[in-house]
């Protein structure tokens, strides 16, 4: 069983930066992990996914502003967010696939929330103009 806990969210002005962390307990080695976000009334959308080798794939949301990284020795996933915009205001979630499932073979599948088995509770990011 994998448990995930996000931290690092908060309020920031447009143009600022935040670094989100996701602490994992349980077996995440080899597992694909990812970051998603959601605003009330809208579907959860992918930001990016990362495999155990540190290779990352991103949706247009990231557009060079967001970067995934992971430290499996620390069981931690990170999301560095730069040049934040008010449109980035959302609840941010980290996720992990179960059973050591990989990512990168088909990112259109990887970017679907349904392809992930474990989720954190989320951390709120609010960007003011």
Q: Could you give the CA distance from residue 96 to residue 60 in angstroms, rounded to a whole number?
A: 21
**Which is more confidently placed, 61 or 5?**
5
- Residue-level pLDDT at 22: 97
Task: DSSP for 54-113, please give it.
Answer: --EEE-TTTTTTEEEEEETTTTEEEEEE-S--GGG-EEEEEEE-STT---SS-HHHHTSG
pLDDT in tens, 26-85: 877 778 999 999 999 999 999 999 998 889 999 998 978 999 999 988 899 999 999 999
Q: Which residues are paired to 22 by β-bridges?
A: 6, 77
CB neighbours of 123 closer than 8 A, spacing ≥ 6?
A: 6, 7, 8, 9, 20, 91, 92
Residue-wise pLDDT for 87-106, tens only, equals 999 999 999 998 888 898 88
The three-class DSSP label of residue 114 is: helix
Mean local confidence (pLDDT), 5-19 = 98
């Amino acid at each position: 069983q994998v448990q995930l806990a996000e931290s690092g969210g908060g309020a920031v002005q447009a143009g600022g930066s935040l670094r989100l962390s996701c602490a994992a307990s349980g077996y995440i080695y080899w597992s694909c992990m990812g970051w998603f976000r959601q605003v009330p009334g809208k579907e959860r959308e992918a930001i990016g996914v990362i495999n155990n080798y540190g290779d990352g794939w991103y949706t247009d949301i990231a557009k060079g502003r967001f970067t995934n990284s992971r430290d499996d020795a620390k069981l931690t996933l990170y999301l560095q967010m730069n040049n934040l915009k008010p449109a980035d205001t959302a609840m941010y979630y980290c996720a992990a696939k179960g059973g050591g499932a990989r990512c990168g073979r088909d990112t259109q599948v990887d970017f679907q929330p349904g392809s992930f088995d474990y989720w954190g509770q989320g951390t709120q990011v609010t960007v003011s103009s």
